[in-house]
Structure 1
Amino acid sequence: MADILTPTLGESVSEATIAKWSKKVGDPVRKDEILVELETDKVSLEVVSPSDGSLAEIKFAEGDTVTPGAILGSVTEGAVAAKPADAAPAAKAEPAPAKPDAPAPGSANAGSAAYKAPAGDAALSPSVQRIVTENKLDPSAIAPTGPKGNITKGDALAAIGGAPAPTPAAAAPAASSAPRADHPREERVKMTRLRQTIARRLKESQNTAAQLTTFNEVDMTAVMALRNQYKDAFEKAHGVKLGFMSFFTKAVVAALKEIPAVNAEIDGSDIIYKNHYDIGVAVGTDKGLVVPVLRDADQLTLAGIEKGIGALGKAARDGDLTLDQLQGGTFTITNGGTYGSLMSTPILNAPQSGILGMHNIVQRPMAVDGQVVIRPMMYLALSYDHRIVDGKEAVTFLVRVKQLLEDPARALLDL
């Protein structure tokens, strides 16, 4: 018998949710075959079979929360056999509680139609099991409030006085706070852990930082001409297409070196100035927005930047990003122009103090040397944390990016 273990989830990630089991109890499995998909706050992880054999046990159902090292189930080792006709369902089965285990009439659980006695220790998540064991609690005396009649960590803490027990008023919330009734033509879908994390982090960013956005516009004529002139030779020489992101990344890095506050973060009462330039690139996926990080962008050529961003984008769309690729960015670039956005105010990717928003390139009439000419123009938006970045620094940073894009030779000559 081989255990299926929850892998290490990465720095600052303490738990994951069971997103989907690919096999049912009794199904034949092969070594390294995907058995279950876990969803963390940052990425999805696939857990594979430790050996050939058949899936003998599933300890956590879809939607349950697990911690690193938790045993998700087990595989009976041996030759891969055909699936038995009477295989058990994938979801963990909870045996009907025997009458002696039913709550006493005077207990906290009495009269609760949703109550189900825990099916032994396996029915408790690792965090709940730890609280129950350390405090010598009786699981049958704890009123469960979980969505599947399971005991949550809050329930266990409430049982020992670590959290306030729900009051009768809390048990019957006002109609205004209750979920509204669904319309026949509507569909209610539970938010994924990733989407919940995106929502929480964006709101935390708004609540924490003193966010302000400054705008400018850039004439893309020079960059577009340079790109059109060398794109074929560039692709032939480097095996990757020449896009606009490499020019923007180069310009951003040069501006960050001149205005270090935009590349810093606040830690308590300290300011941490970062002498490395790890640029986050926002990527939209079918599961939500992720921001993989291009490491040491200041040391990369245009070709290196294009290859790096291309690889990160592909990994994001395929769901293959690692936790390391999502951590440690110092500044973020987001390109709403790929979707047709004309202007926006991007939200900071905490704890960073700056984010640059690129937008759609639009042909507009511009006054140049006293004459009206048509030029390809793009609006730029820099959102910044006003607690650490002054308005003068923010405007200077954005003007510097504009100068380097409108005259790319400046970057080559360090001007």
Structure 2
Amino acid sequence: MAIKTIVLPGLGESVTEASITNWLVQPGDQVERYQPIAEATSDKVTTEIPSDFAGTVKELLVELDKDIPIHDPIMTIEVAGEQEEEEVAEDHDKSLNDDASAKDVPEEKHQMRYSPAVLKLSQERHIDLSQVTGTGRHGRITRKDILNFQPQKAAEKSETVTPAAATEVMQTDGVRKAIAKRMVQSVNEIPHAWMMVEADVTELVKLRNAHKTTFKEQEGISLSFYPFFIKAVAQALKKHPKMNASWVDNEITFFKDINISIAVATDDHLFVPVIRNADELSVKGIAKEVDRLAKAVRNNSLTSEQMQGGTITVNNTGSFGSVMSQGIINYPQAAILQIESINKRVIPTEEGGLKFADMINLCLSIDHRILDGLAAGRFLADVKSNLLQFNNESDIY
């Protein structure tokens, strides 16, 4: 037999590390080639890792939820081939001499390994090995322990009286842990500054309401306000390249492509897929991308590549009725814009009178290492100006 090593495979462009969030096999399990052996999480996306070999799982080499570099070893598998020096069998275990090398092996190492005979017998009798007390060396389970195992006594031994719980504890999954890691990194490393302006979107509301029914009939998707705001941001970024940047290792990178991350929420998680080259798309094109990416999230088919390369985030918080919010920047981007809900308000006119208008708050969080209030204010002023320009059907198509 020969021992083969499985490494953490590449999980997409620019992904340099990931964490194993769930083992699908354990030491002693038989696996086939290409059988999923683990789940790995990077950038909020969970991917199954297949086995490169057929054989018996020997050792799990990494801890759960610990970030490791791509191509680092994660598991060893025993495959047919050269005879391996170490064979695990209870008869051989009993005959081991108490030499120095045997004493140096940690007890936990022995307890995690079972002989082929023990594994086969436990499977035939449907016995959970975690319930069996081993009488062999270092507490290892022997064939005799399996033959003498009595499930009822094991159950009685494991029964404990616990008080009724007043709270519920939920184990966090890999996606939630990835979100938590990125948010903490953003708050700890990025000095956030915040600015809010209000914008009159009365003409935009009229335009969208006038064409939403026809748009749905022709395109097969709904026309929301979100694509208009994304388009207005993309246009403004052309005039304000400082907003389209990131700070990494004391260097500022300014991006030529305008790739806008959008926020898509499920019942349990928040994902930020990317609309690439958003400045080159019409409102209709952006609407189709928003619909495509949202469906990918909800169908659980979103890939890590679809979440990479974003240069700024536009979050539609207004869809929840929010009127003001302070977004946490999507690290390592320089800014996130929160689009709040549209509300009717009475505002003064240029002629000195009053009118009812559709008003919205635009809430911008910026990386104060890259941007200051002047840059943020000018950017938001251009976003407002762009929103005022939406008043014709041609602005949609």
TM over 0.5: yes
Q: 1:103/1:39 Cα in 2 relative to 1: closer, same or farther (>3 Å)?
A: farther
In 2, Cα distance between the equivalents of 1:240 and 1:68? Answer: 42
1:329 maps to which residue?
310
CA contact (8 A) 2:326 2:365 kept: yes
- In structure 1, the residue matched to 2:383 is 401
Change (3 A) 1:75 1:4: farther
Q: Matched residues in 1 for 2:21 and 2:343: separation?
A: 45
Q: For residues 161-187 of structure 1, what are the alpha-carbon distances to aligned partners after superposition, in whole Å with 9 as ceiling and x for unaligned?
A: xxxxxxxxxxxxxxxxxxxxx982223
Read off the aligned partner of 1:117 and give its amino acid letter.
Answer: K
Are residues 1:340 and 2:321 paired? Answer: yes
Distance 2:306 2:344 in 1: 36
User: Deviation of residue 218 (structure 1)?
Assistant: 1.9
Whether the 8 Å contact between 1:256 and 1:397 is mirrored in structure 2 is yes
State how 1:2-401 maps to structure 2 within 5 Å.
7-10=9-12, 11-19=14-22, 21=24, 37-47=39-49, 60=60, 63=64, 68=71, 116-118=108-110, 184-368=165-349, 369-401=351-383
**CA separation of 1:14/1:271 partners in 2, compared to 1, >3 Å: closer, same or farther?**
closer
The residue type equivalent to 2:367 in the other structure is D
| TM-aligned CA distance change 1:55 to 1:397, over 3 Å | same
CA distance in 2, matches of 1:12, 1:283: 21
Whole-Å Cα distance in 1 between the matches of residues 199 and 271 of structure 2? 26
Q: How many residues align?
A: 329
Q: Is residue 19–residue 39 contact of structure 1 (8 Å, CA) maintained in 2?
A: no
Please give the secondary structure, in 2, of the residue aligned with 1:214: strand
Name which one, 1 or 2, has greater alpha-carbon Rg: 2
Superposition deviation, residue 285 in structure 1: 2.6
Cα drift, residue 117 of structure 1? 2.3
- Structure 2 runs not aligned, ≥5 long: 80-88, 115-162
The one-letter amino acid of 1:200's match is K
Partner Cα separation in structure 1 for residue 355 and residue 25 of structure 2:
60
Tell me the distance in 1 between the aligned counterparts of 2:325 and 2:267. Answer: 21
Matched position secondary structure for 1:355: strand
The answer on whether the counterparts of 2:5 and 2:73 sit within 8 Å (CA) in structure 1 is no
Pairwise CA distance, 1:341: 1.5
Aligned-pair distance for 1:239?
3.1
1:309, CA displacement in angstroms? 1.3
Q: Which consecutive unaligned segments of at least 5 residues does structure 1 have?
A: 77-93, 110-114, 123-181
- CA shift in 2, pair 1:210/1:39, >3 Å: closer
CA distance in 1, matches of 2:244, 2:17: 28
Check the 8 A contact 2:5/2:76 in 1, yes or no.
Answer: yes
Q: Distance in 2 between matches of 1:102 and 1:342?
A: 72
Read off the aligned partner of 2:262 and give its amino acid letter.
V
Deviation for aligned residue 1:381: 0.3
Letter in 2 for 1:46: E
CA gap of 1:120–1:102, structure 2 versus 1, over 3 A, is: farther
Change in Cα spacing, 1:25 to 1:255, as seen in structure 2 (3 Å) is same
Query: % of aligned pairs identical?
Result: 32
1:367 to partner: Cα distance: 2.8
Q: Could you tell me how far apart the structure 2 residues matched to 1:233 and 1:40 are?
A: 40
Q: 1:374 to 1:55 in 2, by over 3 A?
A: farther
Hey, what does 1:135 align to over in structure 2? none
TM-score of the two chains, using structure 1 as the length reference: 0.65
Please tell me the root mean square deviation across aligned C-alpha atoms, in Å: 4.4
TM-score (norm 2): 0.68
1:276 shift after superposition = 1.1
- Offset of residue 345 of structure 1: 0.7
Q: By how many angstroms is 1:55 displaced?
A: 9.4
- By how many angstroms is 1:398 displaced? 0.8
Q: CA deviation at 1:296?
A: 0.7
Offset from partner CA, 1:366-396 (integer Å, 9 cap, x none): 3334344333322110111222212111111
Task: Indicate conservation of the 8 Å contact 2:42/2:304, yes or no.
Answer: no
For residues 337 and 218 of structure 1, the distance between their equivalents in structure 2, rounded to whole angstroms, comes to 14
Q: In the TM superposition, what is the alpha-carbon distance from 1:299 to its structure 2 partner?
A: 1.1
Structure 2 Cα separation of the partners of residues 18 and 206 of structure 1: 24
Determine the C-alpha separation between the residues in 1 that align with 2:320 and 2:100: 57
